[in-house]
Amino acid sequence: MQKKWQISRRRMLKGMGACVALPFLEAMAFGGSGSSYRKPPVRNAFLYMPNGIHPDHWTPATMGREFEFTRQLLPLKDYRNDIQVLGELMNHRSIFKGADGHYAKSASLLTCQSITQTIGDNINSNGVSVDQIIANHVGDQTLFPSLEYGLDRITTGVDINVGFTRLYGSAISWKTPLQPMSKEIDPRLAFDRLFRTFIPGRQPKNDPYKQSILDAVMDDAKSLKNNLGRSDQDKLSEYLESIYSVEKRISNTQNLEKFASRITPDIKKELIRVNQNIDEYVEMYAGVDVTEKTRLMFDIMTLAFWSDASRVSTFMFGNSVSNRNFTFIDGVHGNHHSISHHMNKPETLEEYLRISAWHIEQYAYLIGRLKSIKEGDSTLLDNSMIMFMSDLRDGNRHAPQNLPIVLAGKGGGKLKTGQNIVFPKETNLANLYLTMLHAQDINVPQFADSNRTLSEILV
C-alpha cells in the first residue's frame, strides 16, 4: 500500500514538468502560424466502463451551460468548458430476442448492431465499430490505424446461463463483424510497440530481412488458402490482412519519417518519463488498485495522439460483467458487478456511485493530460473527441435507456462543449456516432440505425 503512494508522489512531481505549458517550437508539429500552419487532425477515444452507473446522481438537473456537477461527474468540475454531458441516448439494437443484460449491450456499443446469440465459436457482431470506421478512413495517414487498450484479459468460457460466449463481453472494437480487435492490457508491451525506438538502450535491433520474410509467409498463406474450405478461408484472411497491415506500416517510409520527425524534444522527454514509470510499475506487485495502471495506459494513449502515432483508440476499463474488486476505493467493500445489483439499498448505491466516480476521475486524468498539450493556439484536447460511456444506465435493471455518456474535446472546433444536453427520449445512439464521423469529414450517409445528426452537439 505504502509503496504505491510513493510512486504516485514521485510520479506527480516528475509529471509537473510536462504539465506546464510547453514551449512551442517544433517545426513539424501541428498548428503553428502563418505558412507553416497545418491543421491538426482530429483524435478519437472511446472509453468503456462496464456495469452502469447510479442513475440518480449522474445527469445534471440543469440543462444547457449552467449545469451543476452531480456526485459522479464531480471529478470533471475543472473541465466544465471542455465537456458535454449527453442524456437519453439509447442503443436500440442492443435489445433483441434472446438478448441478455450485458454481452448483447457491450459488444454492440460501438457498432449499434445486434450481435448473434451463440455459445459456440461462431461469434458475429453483425457490424463494424465506429472506431474502426474512423480507422478505415484516416488510418493510413498514421503508423497505427487504431489502438485498442484495456485493463483485463479476455474473459474466457461461455456463459451458458444467458447463452453467450463471454468473448462478446471482452471486445467493443470490431474490425469486421467476425473479427474483434485484440487489445493491449500491458503498459510495457503497449509502450514498446509504439515508442521503443526512441528510448535509449531499448531500440530494437536492425532487421533488414523483415520484408522478405513477411513476403514469404504471405505467399504461404495465399497458397494455403486455395486448399481450404470457405470458412477456413475467411479465417485465413485475418492472417493475410494482418500481414498486409504490418507490411504497409514498415514499408511506408514516408509515414515512418513523418512519425520520427514528430518526436520532438518535448515528446521525447515525456516518453522517457512514461517509460520509467512503467519500469517502476512493473517492478511492483500489480495489486487490486488499478489506478496506476489505468493512468499509464492513458499516458501512452496521450503520447500516441500527441505524436500522431494513431488517431483513434478504444479503452475498456473492464470486460462486460466485470466483477473487479474495488475495495481500494474508500467506502467500497465489494465487487463491481455484484454492487451494480444494488437492489436500491442506500449503502450499496453509495458504493456503486463511488466506483463510477473513480472511473470518471481517471477520465478526468486523461482529459487533463490532453489539455496540457498545446497544438498551435489550441490544445490536443481541443482537437479530440474523447468519449466516456457505459452500455447500461442502472446496472440493477440492466437498463439500456438513457446511457451515461460524456463527450470531451472540441473535435477540432466542431463540437460545442460546456453543456448538458438531454435529447428526446430514446434518441438513437448511432446518431451520435454519425455526427462525430461527419464532424471529422467522414461523410458516410448512415451509421447502423442512425436517423439524423445531432446538431445540438455541434457549434
Partner 1 sequence: MHLPVLKHTLNLLCSRFYRQKSSKFKASISAMRRAIIAISFFVLLSNAQVVAQELHDYNKVLIPILSKKCYPCHNTNKEKGGVNLENYAEKDRLISDGELWLKVVHQIKTREMPPKSEGPLSMHDYTTLVDGINSILETSLQEKNPGRVTIRRLSHNEYHYTILDLVGVDFDARSYFPSDGSGGGGFDNQGGALFFTPLKLERYYDAADSIVTILRNDESLWKKIVPVAYEQAWYERLINWIKSIFSNDYDEINSPGSAAEEVIIPFASKAYRRFLKENEKEKLVGLFKSVYAKKDSLSNPARFDESIAESIKTVLISPNFLYKVEEEPEKEGAYPLSHFEVANRLSYFLWSSMPDQELFNLAYTGRLHDTAVLEAQVRRMLADPKAKRFAETFSTQWLGINKLIDNQPIADPDKYPEFDMPLRLALYRETVEYFYYVLTNSKNMLELINSNYTFANNKVADYYGLEGVTDNEFKKVPLTDSSRGGVLGMGSVLATTSFPLRTSPVNRGKWVLEQLLGISPPPPPPVVAELTEDPKAHAELGLKKLLLKHRSDPACRSCHEKMDPLGLGLENFDPIGKWRDSYGKAPVDPSGVMQDGTKFQGPKELKLLLLKEKEKIARNFSTKLLSYALGRSTLFTDEPALKKLDACLLENNFNPELFLVELVKSYPFLMKLNDFEKKSTG
Residues 33-72 that bind partner 1 (CB under 8 A): none
- Based on the shown chain and the rule CB under 8 A, indicate whether residue 206 belongs to the binding site for partner 1: no
Residue found under cell 442506500: 346
φ, ψ of residue 376 to 5 degrees: the values are: 65, -130
399 Cβ partners below 8 Å, 6+ apart? 52, 55, 392, 393
The H-or-E segment that residue 346 falls in is: helix 346-371
In the complex with partner 1, the residue whose CB is nearer, 266 or 351, is: 351
CA 383 to CA 410: how far, in whole Å? 6
DSSP state of 69: P
Strand boundaries in 178-277, DSSP class E: 179-180
Closest to 112 (Cα-Cα) out of 387, 452, 448, 453: 448
Cell numbers representing residue 369 in the block: 493530460
List the alpha helices (DSSP H) in 372-411.
none
Pick the closer one to partner 1 by CB: 84 or 117.
Answer: 117
* Helix or strand run (H / E) with residue 318: none
Closest CA to 367 of 23, 133, 39, 81: 81
* Rounded-to-integer distance, Cα 68 and Cα 401, Å: 22
Q: Is 202 in the site for partner 1 (CB under 8 A)?
A: no
Decide: is 162 part of the binding site for partner 1 (CB under 8 A).
Answer: yes
User: Under rule CB under 8 A, which residues in 375-404 are in contact with partner 1?
Assistant: 396-398
Which range in 22-30, 221-229, 256-264, 404-412 contacts partner 1 by CB under 8 A? 221-229
What track of x and - describes contact with partner 1 for positions 263 through 302 (by CB under 8 A)?
-----------------------xxx--------------
Choice between 85 and 167, CB closer to partner 1: 167
Minimum CB distance to partner 1, residue 62 (Å): 31
Q: Which residues from 222-261 bind partner 1, rule CB under 8 A?
A: 223-224, 226-233, 235-236, 238-239, 241-243, 245-246, 249
Residue 385, classified by CB atoms within 10 Å of its CB into exposed (0-12), middle (13-18) or buried (19+), is: buried
Residues 81-140 that bind partner 1 (CB under 8 A): 97-98, 100-101, 116-123
Among residues 52, 180, 376, 404, the one that binds partner 1 under rule CB under 8 A: 180
Other beta carbons less than 10 A from residue 368's beta carbon: 17
Among 216, 284, 444, 459, binds partner 1 (CB under 8 A): 216
Instruction: Specify the stretch interacting with partner 1 by CB under 8 A; choose among 57-65, 69-77, 127-135, 177-185.
Output: 177-185
Q: Scan residues 316-345 and list those touching partner 1 (CB under 8 A).
A: 323, 325, 327, 333-335, 338-339, 341, 343, 345
| Inter-axis angle of helices 210-226 and 230-251, nearest 10 | 160
The DSSP call for residue 317 is S
With CB under 8 A as the contact rule, the residue among 220, 257, 279, 441 that binds partner 1 is 220
Stretch of residues binding partner 1 (CB under 8 A), selected from 21-29, 173-181, 427-435, 436-444: 173-181
Please report whether residue 212 would count as binding partner 1 according to CB under 8 A.
yes
* Amino acid letter for position 329: I
Q: Is 211 in the site for partner 1 (CB under 8 A)?
A: no
- Which one among 110, 138, 167, 387 touches partner 1, defined by CB under 8 A? 167
